[in-house]
Amino acid sequence: MVLGIDNNPVPLKLWAANVGSSARVVLSTLGPDSDPLPELPPAAKDVHVHASTPCTALSSAKQSATQADVSNGVAMLRWALDLFLERGDHSWSIENVSTPTTRKVLEEYRTRFPDRVAFATLCASDFGACQTRIRLIAAPPRLIKRLQEMPAAKRLSVREAFAQHGLDVPAPCFKNQTMGRGGAPCVRNVQQQSHTVCASHPLTWSSSDGRTVRVMTPRESAILMGFPAGWRLPKGSRVGQRAVGNALCVAMSKAIVEAALSIAMGVQMPTVAVEAVVAIMADEAAEEAVGSSRSNKRARTPTSTEQAPIYPPPRPTAVQRLRSIEALVKELLRDIEEGEGKGVVRWTVRARS
């Protein structure tokens, strides 16, 4: 992270504190009427620029949005697209709600710039988030293709997400502000994924029949968004909830960065997660161990007058390959901690061989 721009000083200052002192922050209102434009890093292959344009007025859940609000949201989306195209950015992304209005705008740009603009409607739960959060992601065609080709992550429940933070869920269910058929609240069990975390109002802990237990805190909403326990939030429930709900889901942002890095480094992303590879190799190792014990019982040692058959060098066994993968994973993690991006290249190339 080298630069963050926002028109709200509170989350901007906390963002800088969270990402580290190396990041520069600029308090500015960007858009068609912003003048002058803050100094941005020049377009380069190793620079990725992301924009989350205002989406509240464009959301189908915002019933009170006026036509002027919608027009302003569309203008901001167009402004961000024009900015990246005029700058000639190699790697960029835009996040917004997926509605007929936003998709129409993106379809127009994709038709005009088929080699430079693409978009897809993606759900953060497919990338490891514990909530249903459907968003429209616009980016260069190669980056969108990488995101669509990523293997679906393991579904994470609300209970599992809280357990990762060492917390118990305070109620068996939760609900959002909408009502289902017959006026009943939309209730989900903690074994499921949550509703979308919103900036305007938090979710509510409830009993299985929809009775309110209490409102979720901004910190609990942050867990659903994937933020680490030490991530600083603005003080005050309303301000904190707004900051969390307006954020890009951590799982989605991580997927975008991974896709952008794989393109910049010229490598293919692994088609199977590390955990899945290790599990598969462990299964193969168990099967080979059983087969080896059986073959040893049938093996016969050649006599002194017999010549032992000469075979080509044997291929590594599953056990040997499993140990190699474990060593590669440790090497990758060490390189990441030391800030060496080359570790990703070594993992991708050697694990596929």
Show me where the domains of the chain are located.
3-154+249-265, 158-245, 270-289+315-353
Mean pLDDT estimate for the chain: 80
Backbone phi and psi for residue 118, each to the nearest 5 degrees, phi listed first: -145, 165
Predicted local distance difference test score (pLDDT) of residue 95: 96
Find the angle CA(74)-CA(77)-CA(80) to the nearest 5 degrees: 150
Do the beta carbons of residue 102 and residue 77 sit within 8 Å? yes
Give the pLDDT mean for 229-245: 92
Predicted local distance difference test score (pLDDT) of residue 325: 57
DSSP assignment letter at 183: G
Furthest-apart CA atoms within the chain: distance in Å: 96
Lowest mean pLDDT among 15-19, 108-112, 242-246: 15-19
Identity of the amino acid at 109:
Y
| Beta carbons within 8 Å of 238's beta carbon, 6+ residues apart | none
Q: How far apart are CA 9 and CA 28, in angstroms?
A: 9
Predicted confidence band of residue 288 (pLDDT cuts 50, 70, 90): low
Give the pLDDT mean for 69-94: 93
Q: How far apart are CA 133 and CA 251, in angstroms?
A: 11
Per-residue pLDDT tens digits for 170-184: 999 999 988 877 788
* CA-based nearest residue to 126, from 247, 225, 252, 246: 252
Tokens 């209730």 locate to 187
| Single pTM value for the model | 0.73
Give the pLDDT mean for 327-335: 57
DSSP assignment letter at 273: -
Predicted confidence band of residue 330 (pLDDT cuts 50, 70, 90): low
Lowest mean pLDDT among 32-41, 81-90, 153-162, 239-248: 32-41
Where is 46: in which H helix or E strand? none
Per-residue pLDDT tens digits for 46-67: 899 999 988 877 776 656 668 8
Show the DSSP H helices in 171-236 as ranges.
218-225
Tokens 């007058």 locate to 305
Predicted local distance difference test score (pLDDT) of residue 223: 97
Give the pLDDT mean for 60-83: 84
Show the DSSP H helices in the chain as ranges.
9-19, 67-87, 100-112, 141-149, 158-164, 218-225, 237-245, 250-265, 274-298, 318-338, 342-352
Predicted local distance difference test score (pLDDT) of residue 25: 75
Give the pLDDT mean for 337-346: 42
Q: How far is CA 203 from the centre of its chain?
A: 21
Cα radius of gyration rounded to whole Å, the chain: 25
Is the pLDDT reported for residue 219 higher than 70? Answer: yes
Q: How far apart are CA 15 and CA 13, in angstroms?
A: 5
Do the beta carbons of residue 173 and residue 187 sit within 8 Å? yes
Tokens 């959060």 locate to 133
Structure-block tokens of residue 2 = 């080298």
Do the beta carbons of residue 133 and residue 95 sit within 8 Å? no
Instruction: Assign 321 to helix, strand or coil.
Output: helix
Q: Could you give the percent of the chain with pLDDT greater than 90? A: 51
Q: How far apart are CA 337 and CA 152, in angstroms?
A: 26
Greatest mean pLDDT range, 42-46, 162-166, 332-336:
162-166
Better pLDDT: 200 or 315: 200
Q: Could you give the percent of the chain with pLDDT greater than 70? A: 73
**CATH classification for the domain delimited by 3-154+249-265, as one of 3.90.1150.10, 3.40.50.150, 3.30.310.50, 3.30.420.240:** 3.40.50.150
Predicted local distance difference test score (pLDDT) of residue 60: 65
Give the pLDDT mean for 318-337: 56
Predicted local distance difference test score (pLDDT) of residue 204: 97
Q: How far apart are CA 245 and CA 350, in angstroms?
A: 40
Structure-block tokens of residue 244 = 């969390």
Predicted local distance difference test score (pLDDT) of residue 19: 84
Greatest mean pLDDT range, 35-39, 52-56, 306-310, 342-346:
52-56
